[in-house]
A and B are shown apart, each in its own frame.
Chain A
């Protein structure tokens, strides 16, 4: 299997309404990459991550950008789409099917991916906040996790987002503001939640051979994926764990031959604050039940771009944007939010009640 590197990346400014149609939005970060990297004729694959159902969209984007790739298609796996597209591109290059692949994610704020109407097991409680509230309640009851610990996740991620020019939210919030924000589904409050928005992001993956010409390539050293179900009912047997994420992490750590204590920087799927706390445990950063206390730690830089809570959540874009952030950090190009001396990074991306998950481990 060939090694795969990330050679370049770009993320658009996330906005409540970009006033751009989806495909125009999608082209924005791609154009930035294509102007500054390999000739377009050398790109073998274009993989478009989006929950929008626009027909033939990947191929339309390829044509709009003047590309004639061997492979072009859309990948949809709800909020987990972006890293799924990266994993597919990785596999195509590692196998020798392609030498380079452009992975792009784009989503509008009103994406059909925001609700999973298919899941009849959720009854009338169809919003993501409903399953998140059940996870939060279970973790509080079993391990004594507090609403304040969850609020601290929001404070931290908003603080990080304030340094990120591409983030939707650029205003810091106080613990008191989070705690006193509107109740949505107890114990989850408005500022414990991410917000849907318009956004696009893209990364260019290349083979080891092509990476020889790069100054500071970022390597993808491990990928783990797990799909447990599509429904909330069958996603997990333990309401204090995202079982798919736990397994995906195990696969990724095995493949990369590294361990949680080696991770310097991580982008975690904090669509709700409780999910970041569960991720600490599922990824092996904290012991089971210790996620609430782990929020105060300083060893690993968690969600330096502001996470999903700070940046906004254009569902099909999120996984790609997470990868661009960790790549920026490992390449030492993260500007004001640069984490000093980071060598190993991790991305964790989830879909629908944690029914499926992806973990990607990257190295400088």
Chain B
């Protein structure tokens, strides 16, 4: 998890991949949840499918957000557009750690 965060801080999305079975460990872990072998951070395909989305009015957390599935992992991302539909293809445009210390994954619809 620590290494994942370090990369995220620099805007890089790197997911621990099992050095034995090759599957992604998500949430990030040094240990593969499938075969318990060690993992190593790798770049993954960050185009995925928007499963569901809605909008938040919580103070400091305003905006459109949704659950995205990509490369076999799921995460909650944010969007700067309301032109969204469940099942559409989206890609991660930016990621990092916000001023409040939480992770952010910013997605956008793909043009295709």
Binding site for B on A (CB under 8 A): 117, 119-127, 129-131, 133-134, 136-138, 141, 182-187, 230-234, 239
In the complex, which residues of chain A have a beta carbon less than 8 angstroms from the beta carbon of B98? 124
Q: In whole angstroms, what is the CA distance A234 to B26 when docked?
A: 8
In the complex, which residues of chain B have a beta carbon less than 8 angstroms from the beta carbon of A131? 76
Partner of B75, one of A123, A134, A141, A182: A123
Contact A233 B75 (CB under 8 A): yes
Q: In whole angstroms, what is the CA distance A121 to B67 when docked?
A: 9
Contact B102 A123 (CB under 8 A): yes
Q: List 22 A-B contacts (CB under 8 A).
A: A120-B103, A121-B27, A121-B75, A123-B75, A123-B76, A123-B78, A123-B102, A123-B104, A124-B100, A124-B103, A125-B65, A130-B58, A134-B67, A134-B76, A141-B52, A183-B57, A185-B55, A233-B74, A233-B76, A234-B26, A234-B74, A239-B52
Contact A120 B1 (CB under 8 A): yes
Binding site for A on B (CB under 8 A): 1, 4-5, 26-28, 51-58, 61, 65-67, 73-78, 86, 98, 100, 102-105
Q: Which residue of A lies closest to B53 (CB)?
A: A137
Q: Which residue of A lies closest to B56 (CB)?
A: A185
Q: In whole angstroms, what is the CA distance A123 to B61 when docked?
A: 11
Q: In whole angstroms, what is the CA distance A88 to B111 when docked?
A: 53
Contact A133 B54 (CB under 8 A): yes
In the complex, which residues of chain A have a beta carbon less than 8 angstroms from the beta carbon of B66? 134
In the complex, which residues of chain B have a beta carbon less than 8 angstroms from the beta carbon of A230? 27
In the complex, which residues of chain A have a beta carbon less than 8 angstroms from the beta carbon of B75? 121-123, 233
Partner of B55, one of A119, A141, A186, A234: A186
Q: A129-B56, A233-B76 are in contact. List 16 more A-B contacts (CB 8 A).
A: A120-B28, A121-B76, A123-B103, A123-B105, A125-B65, A126-B102, A127-B58, A130-B56, A134-B52, A183-B57, A185-B57, A231-B27, A232-B76, A233-B26, A233-B67, A234-B27
Q: In whole angstroms, what is the CA distance A152 to B61 when docked?
A: 27
In the complex, which residues of chain A have a beta carbon less than 8 angstroms from the beta carbon of B53? 134, 137
Q: In whole angstroms, what is the CA distance A241 to B65 when docked?
A: 20
Contact A119 B27 (CB under 8 A): yes
A125 shortest CB reach to chain B, Å: 5
Contact B74 A121 (CB under 8 A): yes
Contact B51 A239 (CB under 8 A): yes
Q: In whole angstroms, what is the CA distance A120 to B105 when docked?
A: 10
Q: Which residue of A lies closest to B62 (CB)?
A: A185
In the complex, which residues of chain A have a beta carbon less than 8 angstroms from the beta carbon of B73? 121, 233
Q: In whole angstroms, what is the CA distance A136 to B54 when docked?
A: 10
Partner of A122, one of B4, B26, B58, B76: B76
Contact B54 A137 (CB under 8 A): yes
Partner of A130, one of B1, B4, B76, B100: B76
Kindly name the residue among A121, A131, A133, A138 whose own CB sees the greatest number of chain B CB atoms within 10 A.
A121
Contact B57 A233 (CB under 8 A): no
B67 shortest CB reach to chain A, Å: 6
In the complex, which residues of chain A have a beta carbon less than 8 angstroms from the beta carbon of B5? 120
Q: In whole angstroms, what is the CA distance A122 to B61 when docked?
A: 12
Partner of B61, one of A119, A127, A186, A231: A127
Q: In whole angstroms, what is the CA distance A116 to B103 when docked?
A: 13
Partner of A186, one of B27, B54, B100: B54
Q: In whole angstroms, what is the CA distance A234 to B34 when docked?
A: 14
Q: Which residue of B lies closest to A134 (CB)?
A: B52
Q: In whole angstroms, what is the CA distance A187 to B103 when docked?
A: 24
7 shortest interchain CB distances as A-B pairs: A233-B74, A124-B102, A123-B76, A185-B56, A124-B104, A137-B54, A133-B54
Contact A134 B54 (CB under 8 A): yes
In the complex, which residues of chain A have a beta carbon less than 8 angstroms from the beta carbon of B26? 121, 233-234
Q: In whole angstroms, what is the CA distance A138 to B50 when docked?
A: 12
Q: In the complex where A141-B86, A233-B74 touch, is A123 in contact with B65 (Cβ < 8 A)?
A: yes
